Structure 1
């Protein structure tokens, strides 16, 4: 009988994709289900087939097999039982991609404990807030981070070194999972949160099933792909779309460990003949800016990106070097992926800059403040039908006549100046077309006469002087409109970003507010 992985067209996705068909991709059912079994154990057949390729920043490649991860995870699960860890307790780990990372991730889930991946670059305050929120029994990290981890009250700190692997080696290499489909499996922290106190998004084991809609139609993943996702598995995109989704289908995935290097990524794409990559928009922009693409050969057939829209100049670079359309996938940690571009579907037109169309079974609208549907081309709030009512995504968007959606910025990224409503994203994308601009971010800042004016923060390959400011202003005004340009331009060496690589405009707004407050004082 045909399975969803056998279909690649947009038409077939609409005809065949439903919840029942998703369950057919797995061993478990609506009662008994375990992510570790579905992603690792059932694919461990003694062949040594690779599960994860890790491209280290220092140039090393590390390849972990399904067999090695399955055996280590089983032993770690037995060790947790031996240590008295009970189902529902949280096991946190602050590790780069490595054998201990995957052993901890999947081993904890087998026992019914909850895995909590934490970003390795967290400082003491960021770590403390998350530990206080999820109250883990054990926190596993490397030797470098051990002192930081021990400074946070609460969990027992374990160093994931050869000693830990030696300690768990005495336990059996197989384990029978104990979980029901609705048991909690993962606590996930969003990288872009604006909350003062972070709160985990809680996922059950059955979340792997619903994830497959986004995997099949957002990244286009299918058995036979050589997959790669450079996003950290401490965050939603790297964990769910870069790790669990491909492994759940038995597809070898790839990831990055250490400080991100765009040249090292391009090397890994060529060396491993990667055919399908899903990355953050920033990863693509950094590869373009590195200026080294001519040094490598690429084999990509499917590309997807998330986090924020890609500017037109970077899309042109992708088309030139990767020779395949870059497909946006839109969603959040809280709601999942809901808009996709169906990579690999030959009957789906990928419109540059578009968020695409809804995944099967999802309903979205762009709405006016009064709740009525916006007309094509009219900017409004992007709303998702969920639980019998409309819920806000807190993003602004528009549609075209064909039903494609386009991102127009966060609700708080809209700039209103002298009565004109402007999109920070649209101004940024225009400025990025200028040869002198490597990166930029746009916000609205208070102005006594206009209410707000546009301020651009620019990383430039040229000297940032008054002449360049005037050049950028004229360039933007000519391409958009006479009122839509940055009245203020500040040249900077770097832009604040979330750990997932998105420009953090809120930090820029907060800095400007602090400057104004200091000036007033």
Structure 2
């Protein structure tokens, strides 16, 4: 009997994709389910087939099999039991992708403990906020971070090194999980600043099933793929879409460990002969900025991106070097993926700049402030129908006459100047077309005459001066409109970023509000 993984067309997705068909992809049922079993244990068949390929920033390649991960996770689960860890307790992980990371992550899930992945670049304040919030029984990290973690009173810190891996070898290499589908499995923190605590989104084991809508139609994963996702598994994209989704389908996935280097990434994509990659928009932009793409061969059949829209110059780079369209995958950690471009579907047209169309079974609408639906081309707030009511995504969007949706910025990234509505995202994308603009962030700032005006923060290798500022203003105005350009431009050595790599406009706005000028070149 055909399964959803046997279909690739948009038409088939609309006809066959439903909740019952998703459950057919798993061993578990609506009563008993375990993410670790579905992702690694059931695929461990003694063949040594690769589960994860890790491209380390120092040039090393590490390949971990389903067999190795399944045995290690089972042993670590027994170790947790022996150490008194009980179902529902939190186990935090601050590790780069590695054998200890996956062994500990999946081992904790098997016991019914709740896994809490944490970003390895967190400083003491960011780490303490999250530890105080989730109150883990153990924090598992490396030797380098152990000293930092040890500063938090009452926190038990375990160093995941060769000695820990050696210690757990005395335990059996099989483990029988007893989790229910509705038991909590993961606390996932969204990206944010170290001065405020983003919410922890709480996922049950059943989330692996609903995730398959995004896997099948957002990233287009199918059994024959060679998959790669360079995003950190500390964040939703890297953990759910880059790790759990492909593994649950028995697909080998790849990831990046260490300080990110776009040239190293391209070498890994070549060496692993990757056919399907899902990455942040920033990753594609950084590959473009290296100027080294001519040095590598690529084998892509599907590409997706998330996090923010891709600027036109980067889309041109993707078309030229990767030869397949970059498909947007839109969603948030809180609501999941809701808009996709059905990569691999020959009957679905990918429109550059579009967020695509809803995943099967979802209803979205662009609405005016009064709740009425907008006309084609009219910008409004993107709303999701959920649990018998409309729920805001906090994003602005517009719909075309063929039902494709386009992102028009966060609701708080809209700039209203002298009655005109401008998009910070649109201004950024236009400025990135200039050959001398490497990165840019745009916000609205107060203006006595116009209410607000656009201010751009630019990174460039070109010497900043008044002539360059005027050139950028005219360049943007000519490509957009006479009113839609940054009236203020400053040059920075770096832009504030969220932990997920997106330009952090809120930090820029907070600096302006506090009259704290950024350090300029």
TM-score (norm 2): 0.98
Q: By how many angstroms is 1:438 displaced?
A: 1.1
Q: By how many angstroms is 1:85 displaced?
A: 0.6
What does residue range 399-410 of structure 1 map to in structure 2 within 5 Å?
A: 399-410=399-410
> 2:154 and 2:479 mapped to 1: Cα distance?
56
CA separation of 1:99 and 1:194: change in aligned 2, threshold 3 A:
closer
Contact 1:305 1:326 in 2 (8 A): yes
Q: By how many angstroms is 1:155 displaced?
A: 2.6
Q: By how many angstroms is 1:465 displaced?
A: 1.2
Q: Does 1:466 align with 2:500?
A: no
Contact 2:126 2:195 in 1 (8 A): no
Q: What SS does the aligned partner of 2:52 have?
A: strand
Q: Does 1:448 align with 2:471?
A: no
> 1:359 and 1:146 mapped to 2: Cα distance?
42
> 2:193 and 2:411 mapped to 1: Cα distance?
15
Contact 1:457 1:489 in 2 (8 A): yes
> 1:439 and 1:156 mapped to 2: Cα distance?
41
Q: Deviations over 1:357-388 (max 9, x none)?
A: 00001110000000000111111000000110
Aligned position for 2:204: 204
What does residue range 242-253 of structure 1 map to in structure 2 within 5 Å?
A: 242-253=242-253
Q: By how many angstroms is 1:461 displaced?
A: 3.0
> 2:171 and 2:113 mapped to 1: Cα distance?
18
Contact 1:129 1:198 in 2 (8 A): no
Q: By how many angstroms is 1:19 displaced?
A: 0.2
Aligned position for 1:486: 486
Q: By how many angstroms is 1:426 displaced?
A: 0.7
What does residue range 261-276 of structure 1 map to in structure 2 within 5 Å?
A: 261-276=261-276
What does residue range 496-515 of structure 1 map to in structure 2 within 5 Å?
A: 496-515=496-515
Q: By how many angstroms is 1:194 displaced?
A: 9.6
Give structure 1 regions of 4+ aligned residues with deviation exceeding 2 angstroms.
Answer: 192-199
Aligned position for 1:226: 226
Q: Does 1:184 align with 2:184?
A: yes
Aligned position for 1:360: 360
Q: Deviations over 1:415-434 (max 9, x none)?
A: 01111110001111111111
Q: By how many angstroms is 1:299 displaced?
A: 0.2
Contact 2:385 2:391 in 1 (8 A): yes
Q: What SS does the aligned partner of 1:355 have?
A: strand
Q: By how many angstroms is 1:517 displaced?
A: 10
> 1:205 and 1:61 mapped to 2: Cα distance?
31
Contact 1:136 1:154 in 2 (8 A): no
Q: By how many angstroms is 1:224 displaced?
A: 1.1
Q: Deviations over 1:266-324 (max 9, x none)?
A: 00000010000000000000000010000000001000000000001100000000000
Aligned position for 2:73: 73
What residue ranges of structure 2 are gaps of 5+ in the alignment? none
Q: Does 1:240 align with 2:236?
A: no
Q: Deviations over 1:78-129 (max 9, x none)?
A: 0011111110000111000000000111000101111111100001111111
What does residue range 113-192 of structure 1 map to in structure 2 within 5 Å?
A: 113-192=113-192
> 2:129 and 2:207 mapped to 1: Cα distance?
25
Aligned position for 1:303: 303
- The count of corresponding residues between Structure 1 and Structure 2 is 518
What residue ranges of structure 1 are gaps of 5+ in the alignment? none
Contact 2:192 2:198 in 1 (8 A): no
Contact 2:262 2:287 in 1 (8 A): yes
Aligned position for 1:338: 338
Aligned position for 1:325: 325
Aligned position for 2:50: 50
Please provide the CA RMSD for this pair: 1.2
Q: Does 1:12 align with 2:17?
A: no
> 1:41 and 1:391 mapped to 2: Cα distance?
37
